[in-house]
Chain A
Amino acid sequence: MELVAEFLHAIPYDQILIQTLNGIVAGMILALVASGLTLIFGIMDVVNFAHGELFMLGAYVGVIIIAATGNFWLALIVATLIVAVLGAALQITTLRPLLGRDPLTTILATFGLSLVLQNYALWQFGPVARKIQEPFTGSFSIFYLQYPWYRVLIAALSAAIIGGFWLFLKHGTYGIWIRATTQDRVMAQAMGIPVPWVHTAAFAIGAGMAAASGVLFAPLVGVTHAMGLDWVLKAFIVVVVGGMGNLGGSIAASIFISLLESYASIWLDPAQAVIVSFVVLILTLLFRPTGLFVPTPK
């Protein structure tokens, strides 16, 4: 009885609470990044290694706009648009020529892009991390703890963007075009849907989503040229665990993994907490290779 009481006493409730919130916030950002990756993979079978760099460039553009105008929201919108256009340009120049070739070539091409973009950022912005100020400070009280409003905003905005995207897919001509192209590229073409442009648009949307995540996340960490690497790895894990091409699954997986990692970081060093996501991946591959959040195939 005493042991139980001691055990219950030893549980760091406040840390668990904070980490739950942190996990959800990180999970929503990861979900936003992973959604873009899933969209791109689902529609054109491209594993976009450069996705983390699009995230990073979004953050940097955000830094520049804020430095110039002081307005965070403007930075968010402009960064998203600029990176979306950049994404379209990259897709047209480097990925369109590779259409129909071995999927290995697109992985390599996007890997090459990630090297170029990363080093470009290093060249332009230098190795020192930049900081962005949160658009507003202030925390709210939950039980007897303080939790920053801004973090809640990140989660809410990410959810809003994903929700908006989902609505766009479900209604409207272009949403139908994207869904049709994802399901059957050939018949979509036969129905008059301009598939090459749908691919470009999808890549641009994915890039924009990554950029938005970058700007939203930037105030929490320093913006550096290497910040995309961790995200892209986690996003890949999420996409596999959530079920390749499954939007709902990757959102659930994002939150699941982020929560586990946040809890783990109570006891482990953050560099080690990362192993959690790896372990989840391995277990998923061993037991439910089509995805944890996908109904088991018959």
Chain B
Amino acid sequence: MSKGTDRLYWAGFSLILALLIVAPLVLPEFWQRFVTEILIWGLLAMSSDILIGYTGMVSFGHSAFFGLGMYGAAAALISVKPPNIWLALGYGLIGSAGVALFVAYFSTRLRDIYFAITTLIFSQIFYVIIFTWTEVTGGENGLTFSRPALAIPGLFSLPFTPDTLHWFVLGVVTASYLMLRRITQSPFGMVLQSIRENEARTRAIGYAVERYKMVAVMLSGLFAGLAGVLYAVQNRFAAPDFVYFLVSGETVIFNVMGGIGTLVGPIAGAAFYLLLREAFSRFLTEYYLIPVGIIFIAMIIFVPQGLLGFLRRRLNQ
């Protein structure tokens, strides 16, 4: 980006970051949790943008990565006492990495619609396994556990308050964003975008497209799993509902509503969707998805680039 836009960008970024830091101090508890959840879903959506927006691979299976991150963390938090946050992170990331490897393998052999449908079915496979393997996963009811403290064993242990948890989540999400931004603006990221634009040409130039795709899937899966771990830590439960393909669908909605290929777009999309949902559910109780769904469809037709799509060119130079 040019110097001018650069400065504008960082100014905007700092402003939003400042607002988010201050949020828990000024907002009532419900909204504070709401903002924290937006961040977590935003992270999930951002991870999916790597595939959809940057590599051009539509995935309907992100709920599998998210879910396994969540259940992995649950496993750590239940089996090891006292609950250790780093172990939770570790288990969660390994869980989602495993799924990502599986999906990555198929990603190289399938194109477009086939890939999308297959990822959807994979997330359903995991859903069924988790739902029915009651002894290990708690089946329908899921697992509950206690929240770990922010601790380095031997040095200090700081139990989370809602405020500090929010800042922890904010820290993780911000760091993830910066990392992903770095990656997408690197030569690697450029190759991914080239694959999105014209896979055949990219291959013809000499890039090992398959390898790039696999790395993209792994990257996407890891950050999605990270979101799952954060969710587990925040809510202290893991449930099969989060592995259901509806979550994958909603993730894609966040991406499209917010603007794919921008990294920040999907976060905005998540915020927009969740706010809409909150607003409508106050007036219409359970049927809020009807107007939200209609708005979504209308956006696809009339605003296909999403809310922040106009930033795409600027952000990716």
Contacts and interface: CB of A to CB of B under 8 A. Distances in A.
Q: Do chains A and B touch in the complex (CB under 8 A)?
A: yes
Interface in B233-259: 249, 252-253, 256
A238 to B, nearest CB: 11
A44 to B, nearest CB: 13
Interface stretch (B16-24, B78-86, B150-158, B293-301): B293-301
A120 interface: yes
Given A101-B304, A113-B297, A272-B132, A108 B256 contact: yes
B290 interface: yes
B117 A240 contact: yes
B58 A104 contact: yes
B132 A123 contact: no
B112 interface: yes
Given A271-B128, A271-B132, A105 B110 contact: no
Contact of B301 (A94, A118, A233, A244): A94
A275 interface: yes
B34 interface: no
A270 to B, nearest CB: 10
Contacts of B113: 47, 103, 107
B301 A111 contact: no
A275 B300 contact: no
How big is the B interface, by class? 35 or more
Helix, strand, loop or mixed for chain B's interface?
helix
A123 B292 CA distance: 14
Given A109-B297, A236-B121, 12 more contacts: A112-B294, A112-B296, A113-B297, A116-B297, A119-B286, A233-B121, A236-B120, A272-B132, A275-B129, A285-B114, A285-B118, A289-B109
Interface of A: 47, 94, 97-98, 101, 103-105, 107-109, 111-113, 115-116, 118-120, 122-123, 233, 236-237, 240, 244, 269, 271-272, 274-275, 278, 281, 285-286, 289
19 contacts: A47-B116, A94-B297, A103-B112, A107-B58, A107-B116, A108-B253, A112-B253, A112-B296, A113-B293, A113-B297, A115-B249, A116-B293, A119-B287, A120-B290, A233-B120, A271-B131, A275-B125, A278-B124, A289-B110
